[in-house]
A and B are shown apart, each in its own frame.
Chain A
């Protein structure tokens, strides 16, 4: 398993000098990439390295910046790859990977709802979990304030 990881790391460093490639203690290859190259990087790992199965796209709010975490498996080589991309909080725009992995479509729509990240080139950018007319902000951001009326706490009156 680690041989494959070595190979993947080697190819990635060769192709994209300047990205941070490491291996986590759980046997996954981790890539930290600038957001400009995400589309190229995704296409490269999909086509050249056979990482064909995207499991999730998760956003994380680190207050100063947002981070997108892609977790991709290679069903052939039994390898796992994590790509991390930092995104500006205010001007959160990233290239979509939905044209490369079709399954990213809904995951990116979810990240759009929850963090307000815009995905360029997304085939269908609409809210998915939140209502279409939701105005309350992006719930998973750390500065989100729930403005909906609270349920009153019950107190014993008799």
Chain B
């Protein structure tokens, strides 16, 4: 009886010490917690935040031709594109409206892969919380601004990053 109790005490102490040794070992290991927002992680290239519209560096205009492929490919209908309509009702290759509804978007990258004109890229902008639902619908100027201020890449069919 006594042996059983002693054995239990011995076992418990042993496992307690072992457990604490593991914890003590952590004193030496480097800290991996990052105190966001004071500190920030370096996001790897290709990290997916929200889609952004690419701006042509030479002309300063959007690459987008308002073809609407991305809007069709988006599973949740987050994109709304309308082309500029010129005289005689002909559509010009330039978007009049390009709205991205971030209340719907799930940052899946499908629109970026679908765009045939290299006009849409995935930026790493993830801090997009707003006080108003309305503000979560980004228009084309805002999307271009995000492209300018964030890292953005376009990853498609089997290339390397």
Contact = CB atoms under 8 A, between A and B. Distances in A.
A154 interface: yes
- Chain B, interface size category, equals under 10
Interface in B99-144: 99, 101, 103, 133-134, 136-137, 139
B104 to A, nearest CB: 8
A156 B133 contact: no
Interface in A91-106: none
Interface in B80-115: 99, 101, 103
Contacts of A154: 101, 103, 133-134, 136-137
Interface of A: 153-158
Contacts of A157: 134
Contacts of B101: 153-154
Contacts of B99: 156
B76 to A, nearest CB: 11
Nearest to B133: A154
8 contacts: A153-B101, A154-B133, A154-B134, A154-B137, A156-B99, A156-B137, A156-B139, A157-B134
A4 B157 CA distance: 41
A156 B103 CA distance: 12
A157 B135 CA distance: 9
Given A154-B101, A154-B103, 10 more contacts: A153-B101, A154-B133, A154-B134, A154-B137, A155-B137, A156-B99, A156-B134, A156-B139, A157-B134, A158-B134
7 shortest interchain CB distances as A-B pairs: A156-B137, A157-B134, A154-B133, A154-B103, A154-B137, A154-B101, A156-B99
Contacts of B137: 154-156
